[in-house]
Amino acid sequence: MNIFKKVAGLFPAPKTQADNATRIYARCNHCGETLTARVNSTNDLSRTDEGGYFARKVLIGNRRCFRRIEVNLHFDPARHPTRREISGGVFISEAEYRAERD
């Protein structure tokens, strides 16, 4: 049994990105450019006083303007997204994002 444990430690099970990442899609209020960012729920979160987690992302467009879009993401103690806020833009769906990029 000890050997199995050792082997498992040397080769940790690969985690899929979908398991620990939240992707956000946004549209700039000023120029309409669509932007995306990935929030890694393992590395990007900071703990809040309430026991949950918090992450801040700043998205900056590069096609028409360089205004900052700030996104605040809140997570529960199990690191599941609970609510999100945005300034400088609006949240859009993945489908909307892809429709404009393709």
**74 scored as a contact of Zn ion (CB under 5 A):** no
In angstroms, what is the minimal distance from the CB of 33 to Zn ion?
Answer: 5
Taking the alpha carbons of 76, 72, 54, 40 in that order, is the dihedral positive or negative? positive
In angstroms, what is the minimal distance from the CB of 5 to Zn ion?
Answer: 52
Residues 22-61: x/- map of binding to Zn ion (CB under 5 A)? ------x-xx-x---------------------------x
In angstroms, what is the minimal distance from the CB of 9 to Zn ion?
Answer: 47
Instruction: Point out the residue whose Cβ comes nearest to Zn ion.
Output: 28
Indicate the residue among 35 and 45 with the shorter CB distance to Zn ion: 35
**79 scored as a contact of Zn ion (CB under 5 A):** no
**84 scored as a contact of Zn ion (CB under 5 A):** no
Greatest alpha-carbon span in the chain: 61
69 to each of 4, 49, 60, 65, 96, how far by Cα in Å?
Answer: 48, 25, 6, 11, 17
SS3 20: helix
Burial of 74 (0-12, 13-18, 19+ CB in 10 A): middle
